[in-house]
Amino acid sequence: MPKDDCNTSGDRLYQMLATLKSHDFRITPQRLAVLKILAASEDHPSVEQIYEKVRVEFPTTSLATIYKIVALLKELNELLELGFPDESNRYDGKKPFPHPHVICTKCKKIMDPELTSFDELKEEIARKTGFRIIHHRLDFFGLCRECQKVE
């Protein structure tokens, strides 16, 4: 099953577990807990947020452990990292491939918009610059519906 065709969080969990196993990485309780959280989360959690959730079940877990698990999943291309220089990085475990994001600068919510015809843009760039494009990052910053109302 391709990564962009997971319909349930169970699919994603199974897929991430399979990737870990196929690379001979051990399935530890901490790793399983993080995978479950990532596979289920509708938002784009930070390491700190994952940490808080894991600690509900495993109170002795170290923050460093979460960082290590996140780094591992990123390395295995099972997790997309959205790095921000001025605040915590955020993670997308459901769609671990580059795709556009819409970010509310007020409540920090991050959403995945549907978007057509981005590939042609990418090809135009490659043709005009001579670059071999490996990946990309497209973020739109603004105010979500709710935060527009409050103002």
Partner DNA sequence: TCTTAAAGGAGAATGGTTCTCTATAAAGAA
Partner DNA sequence: TTCTTTATAGAGAACCATTCTCCTTTAAGA
Contact set with DNA (CB under 7 A): 25-31, 46-48, 58, 60-65, 67-69, 71, 83, 85-89
Q: Can you tell me which residue has the tokens 């169970």?
A: 10
Position among 22, 24, 56, 141 found at the interface with a second copy (CB under 8 A): 141
- The answer to whether the CB of 45 falls within 8 A of the CB of 35 is no
Closer by beta carbon to DNA, 42 or else 87: 87
Q: Which of 85, 87, 140 is nearest to 112 (CA)?
A: 140
Q: Does 40 bind a second copy (CB under 8 A)?
A: no
One-letter amino acid for residue 5 of the chain = D
Collapsed DSSP state (helix, strand, coil) of residue 85: coil
Q: Does 130 bind a second copy (CB under 8 A)?
A: yes
Please report, as residue ranges, which positions from 71 to 100 form the binding site for a second copy (by CB under 8 A).
83-86, 89, 100
Here the tokens at position 79 are 């997790």
Site for a second copy, rule CB under 8 A: 83-86, 89, 100, 102, 104-105, 111, 113-118, 121-122, 124-126, 128-145, 148
